[in-house]
Structure 1
Amino acid sequence: MKNKSLMIGLATGAVLLATVAQAGENAAVQPNQKKTGVANAALPIMTETLEVKLGTPEFAQLRAKRLEWFNQAKYGLFIHWGICSIPAGEWNGKPVEGDPISIQKDGHIPGAEYRKLAEKFNPTKFDADAWAQCAEDAGMKYVVYIAKHMDGFAMFRSQVSPYNVYDATPWKRDPLKELQIACQKRGLILCVYYSQTIDWEDPDALENPWVSGGSDDEIVPRQHIFKKDLDKYLERKAIPQLKELLTNYGPIGMLWFDNPFGMTKERSIRLAEVVRQLQPDTLLNTRLTIVGSATYLCDVQSLGDNAGPVSIHPGAWETCATLNWCWAYRAKPTAWPWAKTADGGPLSRGAWSGYQYSDTEWKTPKTVCLTLVDIVSKGGNYLLDVGPTDKGEFPQEAQDILRKVGAWLKVNGEAIYGAGRTPFGAEFGKPMDTYVEAGRKVQISSGTDWRCTTKPGKLYIHIFKRPANGRQLVPMSTTITKAVMLGDPMAKPLNLQQTEAGWEVTLPETPDPLATVLALDVANPVVPIKSDK
């Protein structure tokens, strides 16, 4: 999905965003629709006004209000789809190293050749209702759709550039408009992704260095920033297209920016004020800007791809992740012949030594469930990706996995939606290294036995590994007044026993295959008992 060298500095807003209010214990709130004028109408420059409001109690209250739906939702669907789905990871019959979403760059494909893909784009099996229904069945509450990725091709009908899905393809449909309607029917919050500085089709944006004749030693050589007229690009294409997205598609829950090379404080403010003028309730993520001093403009911290914190994390934040190894669709599983493990065998998840992309190595429903609960227990949201085929369908494997987790959420959603952070932390264990997409090494929590999420007067203990003695220890001295298995229609009280180490809860005989969830009524505040182990 991303240029791997561009991830440097994207977490600079962690401290500044720590003061974001933890809202959203109530029901989900749809963002207010703010449809003002036409897409290409000029907006006044309001930098001074915007800066005056920053840091005031009024600004903090508005941000908290904007975040209500996000803090309630917790789980969303990312959709990476475009004309890149036609080659699906191959060019001229050969696999291209890297993610299919960036095949133009990774395959050194000249712009004139790549643009011809639009002439072949005809996703006859696209059904926005099927996409939205899958998201609803999965228990997801919002959808982030790729409106324009780094290749510059707009996956919506745009009057700004003819390089878009309606005008440049034989399909002649606007999938974003259809998805907007489908999401609205189901109460899903629609969000859009927009690559604000990298656009390999536009001469003034940061480009594919191979196409533009630059060095391929770096994904986007820094010297290209100074050779480009990025302000011209922003005013001529990016901002007008953002206005289209904000005026033609109803309420937008979040504008999901990415790869902010060249986004100075002034440019970041310029884009932020466009959003605040047209849809003041729309959230902004921290990949709007690479300038740490400008992250106060943003509402949601975007952590690294396929990477989350190893402990409780402050503020409003989100982890985006792939369901397999790829962001966009790869038609054929591919293992690079030189990519081997230390013992000479083929690579598998968690054993990277270089690129190895396979669209058939899927995360299991239990892994997805554990990751979701882990992220929520640390205070964040989980944005999980699916790459549709060139025909417009979600891979069946992805649908099956998502719906299995969705079935679990129908029973246990109370412990996820609007839930807060754990009062403990020892359950995370020590940090450990693992490998994710593009062979990047990240740290994750080693403990996988259980997690805890919270609501006022409630603890939810998610058990992924049943203790051998059948009793779950809750390490706190706080009194538990009632313990039941979440989803038990009879709400049968479970046996409790207080020990020096905390409370032991006798578990039901049959565990849930994904996670058994205990609902505990407790007094506040929770007082953890620290173990000497």
Structure 2
Amino acid sequence: MKLNSRYIPFFLLCGMLTFGQGQKDYQPAPENIQAREWFKEARFGLFVHWGVYSLLGDGEWVMNNQNIPIDAYEKLPAFFNPIDFNADELVQMAKDAGMKYITITSRHHDGFSMFDTEASTYNIVDSTPYGKDVLKQLADACRKEDIKLFFYYSLLDWHSDDYFPRGRTGTGIPGRGEGEWNKYIAFMKTQLRELLTNYGDIAGIWFDGHWDQKEWDGKKFGKLQVDWHYDEIYKLIHDLQPQCLIGNNHHLAPIEGEDFQMFEKDLPGRNTTGWGTRASDIGQLPLEVCETINGSWGFNLQDRKHKSRKELIHYIVKAAGYGSNLLLNVGPMPNGKIQEEHKASLKEIGKWMRENGETIYGTLAGPVAPTDKMAFTQKGKTIYLHILDQSNTVFLEDFDQKIESIKLFGDQTQLMHHQNEFGLLIRVPENKVDEVDTIVEINLK
């Protein structure tokens, strides 16, 4: 998931001039439109980054970061035997946390496939002592619990010779050969066909790695040096499963054929990372923010940056305040289990969502963009004001909508308020201020 620190937003200036064509004249099917509406209402999902890299306990980019030779990295599958993986438990954990869907890595940048594929023997069924298809197990478990399933799929590949010309990453990995780009495209098509044929209804495909093929001269990014064949790939997906939503983590404005727009470790338009998406490049598609529960995507043994309950709830609220879903990531350990501290965090979030989910699920972005102090969501004529800084007095400047009532969400305490030509003043009793999120329900006439 993470990008080189040099990956600066200059590429956004030229991205649309060099970006490969999408699915021309794409008209989403009725099933797709319906799926988009479901997605917009879901608001919360689980991201799962898992692969043989978890054995090394140093994140999903360990092959690149440590420049591990191809022949050395190929030894890892022989040690990968996640006998403690339990798809039913994973799905139940997500459901109890209030999540409506799961997105899991089917193949990451290291090129190892976490599913049974005929395109290569470099996969969890053919190359590990475990010998079972974890995606099949997860698909079956999701179906039983009515949790929708998305597949993350890496466009870039540090293992395949046919991923040539090489991109900007993985250039220091010994043993990489030269192959044929069109064979690599054919390989991806084969795998995508398998993913959309062998696992039942799939809610979406989550692409990543487009940015690897941007030319870099040391100062700025130039043109895209390959044709990703998005016109063919996107059409293939929609032909096989019309409802399947396509997203691409390219950090650009959406292109034809995409069904939702994603933002990595950034709220929509914020671009605090320096390589995110500008506010001007936000389209009209459903939105999704992805973020880690600690500081890493894949399992990292030394990562101690576990986000607090308060931080995680605030991220859910702010994302919803932008009209966006939050896709919260965990990285399973090599044995297939989720770290206990992450399970505990998700359990706490689930409790909060059961009590306050009405202010998140099925809402639209509120009338004012979120800040660190407050966020707004809206459902019909009800505006939910989330006070995030423990203030008991809030002034909403220029708020001129006609009010029917203002009360605390939950216990329905009527709140003192005053409205004039300058705005709306709301006071919350000090003993009613919540340490994480004080939610005020503003009902309009």
TM bucket normalised to smaller: 0.7 to 0.9
Aligned-partner residue type, residue 473 of structure 1: F
Task: Find the aligned partners of 1:13 and 1:483 in 2 and give their Cα distance.
Answer: 48
Q: Residues 194, 167 of structure 1: CA spacing in aligned structure 2 closer, same or farther, 3 A cutoff? A: same
Shift of 1:140: 1.4
Match for residue 329 of structure 1 among 290, 299, 317: 299
Q: Cα deviations across residues 345-399 of structure 1 (Å, max 9, x unaligned)?
A: xxxxxxxxxxxxxx11211111111122112111222111111111111111111
* Residue pair 1:74, 1:416 contacting (<8 A) in 2 also: yes
Contact 2:32 2:244 in 1 (8 A): no
In structure 2, the CA distance between the partners of 1:362 and 1:459, relative to structure 1 (3 Å rule), is same
Distance (whole Å) between structure 2 residues aligned to residue 242 and residue 270 of structure 1: 12
Checking the alignment, whether the CA contact within 8 Å between 1:11 and 1:304 is kept in structure 2 is no
What is the CA distance between 1:512 and its match in structure 2? Answer: 2.8
What amino acid is aligned across from residue 494 of structure 1 in structure 2?
L
Which AA in structure 2 matches 1:230? W
Partner of 1:156: 115
Give the 3-state SS of the residue equivalent to 2:356 in structure 1: helix
Alignment of 1:82-97 (within 5 A): 82-89=51-58
Letter in 2 for 1:78: F
Aligned residue among 303, 318, 327 for 1:374: 318
How far apart are 1:501 and its partner, in Å? 3.6
Q: Does 1:229 align with 2:180?
A: yes
Residue 255 of structure 1 pairs with residue 205 of structure 2: yes
Question: Shift of residue 14 of structure 1?
Answer: 11
**For residue 120 of structure 1, what is the aligned residue in structure 2?**
79
Secondary structure of 2:425's counterpart equals: strand
Select 1:317's aligned residue among 272, 287, 312. 287
- The answer as to whether partners of 2:149 and 2:203 remain within 8 angstroms in 1 is yes
AA partner of residue 365 (structure 1): R
Alignment partner of 1:298 is 2:268: no
Find the counterpart in structure 2 of residue 451 from structure 1: 375
CA distance in 2, matches of 1:80, 1:473: 42
Q: Distance in 1 between matches of 2:98 and 2:359?
A: 13
Q: CA deviation at 1:513?
A: 3.1
In 2: Cα distance, 1:6 partner to 1:417 partner: 34
Matched residue, 1:432: none
1:61 Cα deviation after fit: 6.4
The aligned runs of 1:155-304 (5 Å cut-off) are 155-196=114-155, 198-206=156-164, 208-212=170-174, 228-235=179-186, 237-260=187-210, 261-262=212-213, 267-287=229-249, 295-304=255-264
TM-score in terms of structure 1 length: 0.71
Deviations 1:122-146 (A, max 9, x none): 1121111121111112211111100
Find the partner of 1:420 among 364, 372, 384. Answer: 364
User: In angstroms, what is the RMSD of aligned CA positions?
Assistant: 2.9
2 CA distance for matches of 1:383 and 1:167? 30
Q: State how far apart, in whole Å, the 2-side matches of 1:387 and 1:482 are.
A: 44
Partner of 1:248, secondary structure, is coil
Shift in Å, 1:114: 0.8
Q: Which moved more, 1:273-282 or 1:401-410?
A: 401-410
1:494 aligned partner: 415
User: Deviation digits for residues 216-256 of structure 1, max 9, x if unmatched?
Assistant: xxxxxxxx9xx652211111x21111111101111111100
Deviation at 1:319, TM superposition (A): 1.8
Three-state SS of the structure 2 residue aligned to 1:295 is coil
Instruction: Give the match for residue 141 of structure 1.
Output: 100
User: 1:205 touches 1:228 (CA, 8 Å); kept in 2?
Assistant: yes
1:15, distance to aligned residue in structure 2 (A): 9.9
- Shift in Å at residue 168 of structure 1? 0.8
Measured at CA, do residues 187 and 486 of structure 1 come closer, stay the same or move farther in structure 2, by a change above 3 Å? farther
Q: Which residue of 2 aligns with 1:346?
A: none
CA 1:63–1:157 in structure 2 vs 1: closer, same or farther (change >3 Å)? closer
How many correspondences in the alignment?
Answer: 413
| Residue aligned with 1:392, SS | coil
Which of 339, 353, 373 aligns to 1:395? It is 339
Name structure 2 gaps, 5 residues minimum.
214-223, 271-278
Structure-1 separation of matches of 2:38 and 2:13: 24
Displacement of 1:307 after TM fit?
5.3
C-alpha contact 2:44 2:99 (8 A) present in aligned 1: yes
Q: Report the residue type matching 1:247 in the other structure.
A: T
Tell me how far apart the structure 2 counterparts of residues 266 and 120 of structure 1 sit (CA, whole Å). Answer: 33
Match of 2:394 among 467, 472, 480: 472
What letter is aligned with 1:409?
M
Q: In the TM superposition, what is the alpha-carbon distance from 1:177 to its structure 2 partner?
A: 1.1
CA drift at 1:422:
1.9
Map of 1:13-52 to 2, 5 A cutoff? 51=24
DSSP 3-state at the match of 2:435: coil
**In structure 2, what is the Cα distance between the partners aligned to 1:174 and 1:382?**
27
* Alpha-carbon shift at residue 8 of structure 1 (Å): 5.8
CA distance in 1, matches of 2:192, 2:227: 18
Query: Does the 8 Å CA contact 1:13/1:286 hold for their aligned counterparts?
Result: no
Post-superposition offset of 1:271: 0.6
User: Which digits, 9 at most, give the CA deviation of each residue in 1:291-350, with x for residues without a partner?
Assistant: 97x81221222223445423795522222111211111112x2xxxxxxxxxxxxxxxxx
Aligned mate of 1:65, from 31, 34, 51: 34
Cα gap change, 1:77 to 1:14, in 2 (>3 Å): farther
Give the TM-score, by structure 2 length. Answer: 0.84
Cα deviation for residue 473 of structure 1 reads: 3.1
For the structure 1 residues 10 and 410, does the alpha-carbon distance in structure 2 shift closer, same or farther, using more than 3 Å as the test?
Answer: farther
Q: Tell me the residue number matched to 1:444.
A: none
Structure 1 unaligned runs (5+)? 17-46, 90-99, 215-223, 334-358, 429-446, 524-533
In 2, Cα distance between the equivalents of 1:186 and 1:492? 36
Matches within 5 A, 1:71-86: 71-86=40-55
- Tell me if the contact between 1:306 and 1:322 (Cα under 8 Å) persists in the aligned partners: no
1:63 Cα offset (Å): 5.3
